[in-house]
Amino acid sequence: MLLTAANYQDLTSYDRNKMTGHSLDWSNKPISFKTYQGLKNIKLLEETERPQQNLSDLFTYNQPEQANNSVNLENLSRILRLSHCLTRKEKFGGGYFYFRNVASAGALYPFETYVEAFQVENLEQGLYHHSVADQSITQLRIGDCSELVSSAINFRSSDNPVVVFFLSAIFFRSSWKYRDRAFRYHLLDTGHLSENLLLALKCHELKFEISYDFNDEKVNEFIGIDTKREACLATIGVFSTEAGPNITDKAQEFSSVDLKQFSRCAAQETRYAVINEILSLTSKKKEYQDENLDKKGIQCASSIGEAVKPIPFDNTPELMTYSQAILQRRSRRNFIRKPISGATFSWLLNLLREGDKTGRRIKWQDFLSIGVLIADVQGIDPGFYSFESTNRELRLVRPGFLMEEMAHICLDQAWLSNCSSHFLFMSDLVAVEHRLGPRAYRYAMIEAGRMGQRLYLAAESIKFGCCGIGAFYDQEARQFLNLSPGAHLLYLVGLGPLTNAFV
């Protein structure tokens, strides 16, 4: 039985000497699009204009004090498309495989988005599911559910939410391939999708809040999913003081169809007991006091050297707008050993640091720690550094060119050794769980995924490559990085110049 999230991480570790290998049952591959047959479907509005901001604009964006901007069907349509859309199709087997603007482990796309529209101009009040395949929304409930939602989620904002997004994961989509380890990817992938959604909200200058804390049972029931197969992992509220014109005051009505049946994604679904256990364990949250949080944030590795201050950047280096970058984002692996400028590197670090202005009480530094293996960054010697985000410094943990060994630890994905840097997302799960309770595992993993998506978009914006890496021999990584006893590597993202841009 799992007692802690750290137990789950250990139990699902990859060990070089115990990799059994298993064949995938392609005839039973889960369907990665959810469709609700027989329910009212509304096409999202066609795109009329693309946002012109670049990524840096979105990261310097501060949430407005006054939540003046309202949501209507037009901006909701754009927000949903920007958060999740198909970007390319390729022939695969007898049909087509569709790539998306969100990265996902194994391209299995476990996530789904539900939207509760309280006050959206030109949209009837109710709950909808976002169908990414045809950019439409399906109406699941109608009427006013505000009391139910406010009793299940504790947003800090005193304004009323006009829209709430619910991001869920369908377990078997990823456990088909990754079995017990899949819950890691449910969380990381949800983080990737969350970041896309939050950037789209920033782009529309809306006031919002992300919350990983909610009453799981009530929320899952509300969105009508089968909790043996699917669970909500993140909620995002959008607030506005502008009352929308079409409040219907209709009592809530369930759809007459049994919504839970649509959580099934394959003819034969294997249930992994450990996934249900970690889900139930991490549904527990601990009330914490601010004094319990370490001012310095979570430490995972002891530094030995002087602090290195990355060179400040004068101009932001983007070569395209954020919306162009999001539409052409891909995992790219054709890295070439070539130095990158210190200014570009410090811009990347800054994006990681600045991305969290979401009005939350706890910050990512309370449950996540960032490290970086540097190979080819001008002005910084190769080595493993921890990133001290408060004073924007790097502190040397281990000197030397470490990329080849790290690539070996990442299941011998040799191309990783050509990256100019590996970003490491780590957490001292034992300490974090002690302070914040088991639910903090969700915070750390989702937030690591958010940062991963941010790096993907940043790399794309400057025509560099980027690839998330969830496959590594866990204990080897901990030893190699000399992490403190309770610390774990959660996620790695390789980044750097490419042999040919965008092949």
Ligand X SMILES: Cc1cc2nc3c(=O)[nH]c(=O)nc-3n(C[C@H](O)[C@H](O)[C@H](O)COP(=O)(O)O)c2cc1C
- Cα dihedral 372, 377, 378, 383 sign: positive
Q: How far is the CB of 70 from ligand X (least distance, A)?
A: 33
Stretch that binds ligand X, among 73-81, 187-195, 346-354, 481-489 (CB under 6 A): 187-195
In three-state secondary structure terms, 464 is coil
Sheet holding 307-308, edge to edge: 307-308, 393-399, 383-388, 369-374, 421-428, 487-496, 465-469
Q: What are phi and psi of 80, to 5 degrees?
A: -65, -40
Among 125, 139, 183, 189, binds ligand X (CB under 6 A): 189
Task: Please tell me whether residue 310 binds ligand X under the rule CB under 6 A.
Answer: no
Task: Please tell me whether residue 368 binds ligand X under the rule CB under 6 A.
Answer: no
Task: Please tell me whether residue 330 binds ligand X under the rule CB under 6 A.
Answer: yes
Cα separation, 2 vs 485, in Å, equals: 19
- Cα dihedral 121, 101, 234, 183 sign: positive
Per the CB < 8 A criterion, the answer to whether 416 and 407 are in contact is yes
- Cα dihedral 461, 467, 470, 472 sign: negative
Task: Please tell me whether residue 469 binds ligand X under the rule CB under 6 A.
Answer: yes
Q: How far is the CB of 470 from ligand X (least distance, A)?
A: 3
Task: Please tell me whether residue 19 binds ligand X under the rule CB under 6 A.
Answer: no
Among 58, 79, 103, 281, binds ligand X (CB under 6 A): 103
Residues contacting residue 301 through CB under 8 Å, at least 6 positions apart: 369, 371, 384, 386, 397, 426, 481, 482, 483, 484, 487
How far CA 192 is from CA of 142, 326, 435, in Å, comes to: 29, 12, 26
Give the pair of three-digit tokens for residue 326: 């999001």
Scanning the structure block, which residue is given the tokens 């070996």? 408
Stretch that binds ligand X, among 101-109, 126-134, 243-251, 349-357 (CB under 6 A): 101-109
Stretch that binds ligand X, among 6-14, 97-105, 124-132, 495-503 (CB under 6 A): 97-105
Cα separation, 450 vs 423, in Å, equals: 13
Q: What does 282-326 look like in DSSP terms, one character per residue? A: TT------GGGS-TT----B---S-EEPPPPPSS---SS-HHHHH
C-beta closer to ligand X: residue 76 or 102? 102
Among 215, 246, 276, 331, binds ligand X (CB under 6 A): 331
| Burial grade of 458 (CB within 10 A; 0-12, 13-18, 19 or more) | buried
C-beta closer to ligand X: residue 231 or 469? 469
Task: Please tell me whether residue 471 binds ligand X under the rule CB under 6 A.
Answer: yes
Cα separation, 252 vs 249, in Å, equals: 9
Q: How far is the CB of 145 from ligand X (least distance, A)?
A: 32
C-beta closer to ligand X: residue 166 or 178? 178
C-beta closer to ligand X: residue 146 or 331? 331
Among 7, 35, 40, 99, binds ligand X (CB under 6 A): 99
C-beta closer to ligand X: residue 32 or 56? 32
Q: How far is the CB of 235 from ligand X (least distance, A)?
A: 21
Q: How far is the CB of 391 from ligand X (least distance, A)?
A: 29
Stretch that binds ligand X, among 148-156, 198-206, 232-240, 464-472 (CB under 6 A): 464-472
Stretch that binds ligand X, among 229-237, 238-246, 250-258, 467-475 (CB under 6 A): 467-475
Task: Please tell me whether residue 467 binds ligand X under the rule CB under 6 A.
Answer: yes
Q: How far is the CB of 383 from ligand X (least distance, A)?
A: 23
How many residues belong to the site for ligand X (CB under 6 A)?
18
Task: Please tell me whether residue 327 binds ligand X under the rule CB under 6 A.
Answer: no
Among 76, 105, 200, 219, binds ligand X (CB under 6 A): 105
C-beta closer to ligand X: residue 90 or 287? 90
Please, what is the angle between helix 73-83 and helix 182-203, to 10°?
140
Q: Which of 426, 427, 425, 415 is nearest to 466 (CA)?
A: 415
Q: How far is the CB of 323 from ligand X (least distance, A)?
A: 17
C-beta closer to ligand X: residue 192 or 454? 192
Stretch that binds ligand X, among 362-370, 395-403, 436-444, 468-476 (CB under 6 A): 468-476
Q: For residue 319, which amino acid is it?
A: L
Task: Please tell me whether residue 298 binds ligand X under the rule CB under 6 A.
Answer: no
C-beta closer to ligand X: residue 192 or 488? 192
Q: Under the rule (CB under 6 A), what is the footprint of ligand X?
A: 99, 103-107, 185, 188-189, 192, 330-331, 413, 467-471
